[in-house]
Structure 1
Amino acid sequence: MAGNPRNGRPYRRLCAQQRALGLPCWRCGQRIDYSLTGAAAQRSRWAFTLDHAIPLSLGGDLLDPTNARSAHRRCNSARGNRITQPLARASRRW
């Protein structure tokens, strides 16, 4: 039995590479708090998580860097396993 592939070194390396880019959330466009790590990150909605543009349940590759996106924990959870585009941002404040 192989165990959970998300606990393996290749997956952790991909997460570290994506985190090092310091990109905003690909869903909402807002800044991600990359300083949160460990237990604090697991409790915060605004912490970094690795999201997959094509969900794993729909055939996306777990370790493909072109499928990896930076997202808030909140945005990643709200999206679920749907294939969606990033949220539209208003051009001006109303």
Structure 2
Amino acid sequence: MAGNPRNGRPYRRLVAAVKALGHPCARCGHNIDLKLNARHPMSFTLDHAIPLALGGSLLDPANARSMHRRCNSAKGARLGPTPPKTSWKW
């Protein structure tokens, strides 16, 4: 029985490589504080541009991008960054 691939060395390497790029959040565009606790809503998470649930590759660097934990949760298993909701009615 195989373990969770997200706990494996290749996945951890991918997370470290994307984190080291220091890119802002792919959804909201704000910087990500890499010193925050991993459970903090504004901490770094690895997002998959094509969600795994829709056939995206877990380990493809071209499918990986930086995102805040909160933004990643709000995006869910949808394609694209989905712009954040605003309180302004235009």
Q: Which has the higher helix share?
A: 1
Fold similarity call, TM over 0.5: yes
Contact 1:26 1:86 in 2 (8 A): no
Contact 1:11 1:63 in 2 (8 A): yes
In 2: Cα distance, 1:52 partner to 1:84 partner: 10
Gapped runs of 5+ residues in structure 2? Answer: 85-90
Gapped runs of 5+ residues in structure 1? Answer: 89-94
1:79 and 2:68 aligned: no
Give the percent of matched residue pairs that are identical in Structure 1 and Structure 2. 67
Over the aligned positions, Cα root-mean-square deviation in angstroms equals 1.2
Aligned AA (1:3): G
In 2: Cα distance, 1:85 partner to 1:26 partner: 6
Contact 2:75 2:81 in 1 (8 A): no
Corresponding residue for 1:47?
A: 43
TM-score (norm 1): 0.85
TM-score (norm 2): 0.88
In 2: Cα distance, 1:84 partner to 1:57 partner: 14
Runs of 4+ aligned structure 1 residues displaced above 6 Å come to none
